[in-house]
Amino acid sequence: MANILLVDDSASMREMVSFTLRGVGHQVNEAEDGVEALEFAKGASVDLVITDVNMPNMDGITLTAELRKLESYKFIPILILTTETGSVRKEQGKVAGATGWIEKPFDPDHLLGTINRVL
Amino acid sequence: MNSDINIDLSQFHDVFFEECSEGMEVMESGLLNLTSDSDSEVINTIFRAAHSIKGGGGTFGFSEISNFTHGMETILDKMRNGNLAVTPEVRELLLEALDCLRDMVQRSKDKAPIDQDLVREVHEKLEKFASGSAVAVEEPQTERKKKSASESTGKSDVATWNISFYPHENIFYTGNDPFRLIRELQCLGDLTVTINHERLPKFSEMDVQSCYLGWDMVLKGDVPRDLIAEIFEWVEDDCDLEISQQNEIFEQKKAEVVEAQVRTTDVAKTGRRRTDKSGLSGQESTSIRVDINKVDGLVNLVGELVITQSILSRVCDDLGLENNEKLNECLDQLERNTRDLQEQTMGIRMLPIDFAFQRLPRIVHDLSLSLGKKVELKFSGETTELDKTVLEKIGDPLMHLVRNALDHGIELPDVRVAAGKTEKGLITINAYHQGGNIIIEISDDGAGLNPEKIVNKAREKRLIEDNEELTEAQIYNLIFSPGFSTAVTVSDVSGRGVGMDVVRRNMTDLGGVVEVASKVGKGSSFTIRLPLTVAILEGQMVRVDDQIFIIPLLSIVESLQVAEEKINAIANKSELYHYRDEYISVIRLREMFNLKSDDEEEDKAGLLVVVDIGGRRLGLYVDDVIGQQQVVIKSLEQNYQQVHGIAGATVLGDGAVALIIDVLGLAKNNLDN
């Protein structure tokens, strides 16, 4: 099963997402913001990054761009959790190098269905 | 390929509500600090908090909370982007909305219905404000689009779809992989895949990280277009994609189609090596929630360990082993480790004091508005830590002191200006550690206490005799008397039946004291002194006969040698000692605890330990003062029964039990007599 890095400043979201992912056997590492995630990512091997956009210290878009600069994260799928429906936000993510996005709110089933596209 | 696992979202509700509370605190303090020249990070922080609540609300099934927060977020977003100026009006509106949100969250938590009228009213105000700046409020999407699935159910005919999918060369750099997308398509129905490798360059020109292949696929099944399009949602800008419905006639032509194993497409990305999933020890969140009882159990055990350690040291001395170097080394090590362990364990219960400060800015904000006063609230030492139990109990007293300072202390702007002060008053709260105590000072630069008014009031309330002469300190102390209130009219601010006497009582219950200093025209200052924890006590060991007693160090003013003749017996066996400017009652612990009377010892002048309890002084007569020690408090009630005059017990280094004097209880008893 996949090794997933989950980045969100909201504890309840982290709990829900990681519970869902662990439920189907994935291994989940959690980070509270971009800085923590980047730090972790540098020393680990990850199959998928799921990140929130709005976070203190470093937002998800910046995190995506930073991760793409790392050799080992060139091709790793990065999904952005977003509440924005506007295409601006998506475009921003794409430019930074995000693989795709998941619109909030979502239910656990939808989440699992969606990540199958990149795992 | 949705895995049908049923997840009960209600298990995350507690965390969500807790997060809401935290988020609302953040929003509140942010809003209170928000001015037109605020740093953009202030608005960002408020926005993020609102955003998280909105997201969580939608996810965990609280669409009303989500909808409502969306309204707030819209305004915040405009402020963030500079499309809306930060004005006092918008700030007040957001604060009002925040109160409404708080109510919604509380009701949701209590599983009570939401106050629809209130919510609608505030929501309309928000929308009006937002649209006032010309952009319509976009309704949040509270339910993900499932419409595609429902739309399709009407026509259940098996359709045949032609999908031509030609990714751009750089598709791998987005983290997307054609193979996975095709695999997902396969889950929708019967899929036939044809590879087109026309674009494949010469081997020498090939870049292993680029994609040169294209796919023509035929999908048969009861699949709506949306579902297919959704799979390619993330790559639509990175590929040439055509999805078209095929007519039945063309179906024959399919013979040419080469059935290809989807897996072979994996070849296209040889450059990509999937890293091995090593068993990383997952880096979970950095904090855990632990039942407070578990922590208390730990604290208790460590307390036992400290005692055992000191007994061990003692035993070694008694056995004449103190010269054994190796043993001494080990004992020293053990002592250090135990002390560190104790400190760390106590640290678990410690929280920064700003938890107790959180409510204050809002109260000051609202109150200063309703009183027409201008005031600034300043904190320092917010990170000072103290025991959770203590922390929880100082919230209300702190709030009361701040209210008082604002209501009675700070003057109206014109009065201040007339007195040569700045228009804006200042209330400062400062917290710091001193020894084993935490000191919290609440000061204002207002009018100060008026001694004359206090004395008049006290006479009126018959708290003092008409002709009684009082020192300034004694006068100020009167405000802590039950039933005392100097406010001319009982305002809805401080006059809520909670007086300064309650503040003092709360502090005393926690083993602390509260003192007041004031200067007419300059302001007043309240100092709260509290033990850092309720589990450990800085104690003064005293001896009475062959018994050791512990007196809480915090309550001791001084210990002095007194000549027996200076203690004056008055009626009904009470004794008074002339201490400084006042007469204080003397309690002889020997008599109090019925210890045998040793005439010889009595003859020698003993020591008088003067203690201060809530402004009242009392002399405890003991044989000797021995030393100071940190003691672990053991409840007497839990292990034996409540004993008058005793607050608890502790075990000393030699294994002996020493009783801790309940100074407050003694003082009360003395007063009753």
Average pLDDT over residues B70-77: 89
Peptide linkage before B88 cis (omega within 30 of 0): no
Please report the pLDDT score of residue B146 as a whole number.
40
Nearest chain A residue to B23 by CA: give it.
A10
Contact between A3 and B7 using a beta-carbon 8 Å cutoff: no
Nearest chain A residue to B48 by CA: give it.
A54
Min Cα–Cα distance to chain A from B232, Å: 9
Min Cα–Cα distance to chain B from A82, Å: 9
Query: Which residues in chain B touch residue A75, judged by CB atoms under 8 angstroms apart?
Result: 172-173, 175, 209, 272
What gap in Å lies between CA A3 and CA B24, rounded to an integer? 34
Please report the pLDDT score of residue B155 as a whole number.
44
Name residue, tokens 């839990």: B638
Q: Least CB-CB distance to B59: which of A27, A104, A116?
A: A104
Nearest chain B residue to A78 by CA: give it.
B175
In chain B, what is the straight-line distance between the N-terminal and C-terminal CA atoms, in Å?
82
pLDDT band of B145, cuts 50, 70, 90: very low
Query: Which residues in chain B touch residue A3, judged by CB atoms under 8 angstroms apart?
Result: 277, 280
Q: Exposed/middle/buried for B119, CB within 10 Å: 0-12, 13-18, 19+? A: buried
Closest CA to B439 of B448, B451, B430: B430
Contact between B45 and A32 using a beta-carbon 8 Å cutoff: no
The total number of structural domains that make up chain A: 1
B139 at interface of A, judged by CB pairs closer than 8 A: no
* C-alpha distances in Å from residue B316, one per residue of B306, B339, B449: 16, 19, 59
Helix (H) or strand (E) segment spanning residue B181? helix B178-186
Min Cα–Cα distance to chain B from A112, Å: 6
Percent of all residues in chain B with a pLDDT value above 90, rounded to a whole number: 10
Please report the pLDDT score of residue B148 as a whole number.
40
B142 at interface of A, judged by CB pairs closer than 8 A: yes
Q: Mean pLDDT of all residues in chain A?
A: 86
Please report the pLDDT score of residue B266 as a whole number.
41
Residue B323 DSSP label: T
Average pLDDT over residues B520-546: 85
Residue A65 sits in a domain whose CATH number is: 3.40.50.2300
Q: Mean pLDDT of all residues in chain B?
A: 79
Tell me which of A1, A3, A10, A48 to substitute to probe the interface with B (most B C-beta atoms closer than 10 Å). Answer: A10
Three-class secondary structure assignment of B517-547: EEECCCEEEEEEEEECCCCEEEEEEEEECCE
Is residue B129 within 8 A of residue B93, CB to CB? The reply is: yes
Give B 20-49 residues with CB within 8 A of chain A: 45, 47-48
Q: Which domain holds residue A92?
A: 3-115
pLDDT band of B3, cuts 50, 70, 90: very low
pLDDT at residue B408 above 60? yes
Q: Least CB-CB distance to B1: which of A76, A103, A116?
A: A116
Query: Which residues in chain B touch residue A71, judged by CB atoms under 8 angstroms apart?
Result: none
Tell me which of B26, B137, B234 to substitute to probe the interface with A (most A C-beta atoms closer than 10 Å). Answer: B234
Min Cα–Cα distance to chain B from A62, Å: 15
- Give per-residue pLDDT as tens, B478-497: 888 877 765 444 444 444 44
| Residue B182: φ, ψ to 5° | -65, -40
pLDDT at residue B426 above 90? yes
Nearest chain A residue to B52 by CA: give it.
A10
pLDDT band of B428, cuts 50, 70, 90: very high
Which segment of A76-90, B21-35, B448-462, B541-555 scores lowest on mean pLDDT? Answer: A76-90
Contact between A44 and B58 using a beta-carbon 8 Å cutoff: no
Please report the pLDDT score of residue B85 as a whole number.
84
- Give per-residue pLDDT as tens, B365-397: 888 888 889 999 999 988 888 888 888 888 888
CB atoms within 10 A of CB B317: 12
Is residue B620 within 8 A of residue B611, CB to CB? The reply is: yes
Query: Which residues in chain A touch residue B57, judged by CB atoms under 8 angstroms apart?
Result: 105
B144 at interface of A, judged by CB pairs closer than 8 A: yes
Average pLDDT over residues B443-467: 84
Percent of all residues in chain B with a pLDDT value above 70, rounded to a whole number: 84
Contact between A97 and B141 using a beta-carbon 8 Å cutoff: no
Contact between B280 and A27 using a beta-carbon 8 Å cutoff: yes
Query: Which residues in chain B touch residue A40, judged by CB atoms under 8 angstroms apart?
Result: 283
Average pLDDT over residues B596-622: 75
pLDDT band of B221, cuts 50, 70, 90: confident
Closest CA to B426 of B447, B410, B408, B449: B410
* C-alpha distances in Å from residue B508, one per residue of B180, B486, B513, B616: 68, 23, 6, 12
Query: Which residues in chain A touch residue B186, judged by CB atoms under 8 angstroms apart?
Result: none
Is residue B449 within 8 A of residue B439, CB to CB? The reply is: no
Nearest chain A residue to B15 by CA: give it.
A12
Tell me which of A75, A76, A106, A107 to substitute to probe the interface with B (most B C-beta atoms closer than 10 Å). Answer: A75
Is residue A83 within 8 A of residue A38, CB to CB? The reply is: no
Query: Which residues in chain A touch residue B276, judged by CB atoms under 8 angstroms apart?
Result: 45
Please report the pLDDT score of residue B254 as a whole number.
44
Tell me which of B285, B286, B288, B289 to substitute to probe the interface with A (most A C-beta atoms closer than 10 Å). Answer: B285
Query: Which residues in chain B touch residue A30, judged by CB atoms under 8 angstroms apart?
Result: 282-285
Please report the pLDDT score of residue B258 as a whole number.
37
What gap in Å lies between CA B511 and CA B527, rounded to an integer? 14
pLDDT at residue B154 above 50? no
Tell me which of B10, B12, B170, B270 to substitute to probe the interface with A (most A C-beta atoms closer than 10 Å). Answer: B12
Q: Exposed/middle/buried for B249, CB within 10 Å: 0-12, 13-18, 19+? A: exposed
B234 at interface of A, judged by CB pairs closer than 8 A: yes
B273 at interface of A, judged by CB pairs closer than 8 A: no
Q: Least CB-CB distance to A32: which of B9, B18, B285?
A: B285
Is residue B14 within 8 A of residue A11, CB to CB? The reply is: no
What gap in Å lies between CA B428 and CA B419, rounded to an integer? 20
Contact between B283 and A29 using a beta-carbon 8 Å cutoff: yes
The rounded Cα B115 to chain-centroid distance in angstroms is 27
Is residue B400 within 8 A of residue B502, CB to CB? The reply is: yes
Contact between A118 and B5 using a beta-carbon 8 Å cutoff: no
Rg (CA), chain A: 13
Contact between A116 and B175 using a beta-carbon 8 Å cutoff: no
Nearest chain B residue to A76 by CA: give it.
B175
What is the ipTM, given to two decimal places?
0.84
Which segment of A12-21, B144-153, B180-189, B239-248 scores lowest on mean pLDDT? Answer: B144-153
Which segment of A69-78, B191-200, B634-643 scores lowest on mean pLDDT? Answer: B634-643
Min Cα–Cα distance to chain A from B259, Å: 22
Tell me which of B11, B20, B27, B52 to substitute to probe the interface with A (most A C-beta atoms closer than 10 Å). Answer: B52
- Give per-residue pLDDT as tens, B352-365: 888 888 888 888 88
- Quote the tokens at residue B628: 């100071």
Nearest chain B residue to A20 by CA: give it.
B7
pLDDT band of B98, cuts 50, 70, 90: very high
Three-class secondary structure assignment of B207-250: CCCCCCCEEEEEEEECCCHHHHHHHCCCCCCCEEEEEEECCHHH
Query: Which residues in chain B touch residue A78, judged by CB atoms under 8 angstroms apart?
Result: 175
In chain A, what is the straight-line distance between the N-terminal and C-terminal CA atoms, in Å?
9
CA atoms within 13 A on the CB side of B352: 9
Name residue, tokens 């989950």: A6
pLDDT at residue B558 above 70? yes
pLDDT at residue B501 above 50? yes
- Give per-residue pLDDT as tens, B503-520: 888 887 787 888 888 888
* C-alpha distances in Å from residue B552, one per residue of B121, B269, B298, B521, B557: 55, 75, 24, 36, 11
pLDDT at residue A18 above 60? yes
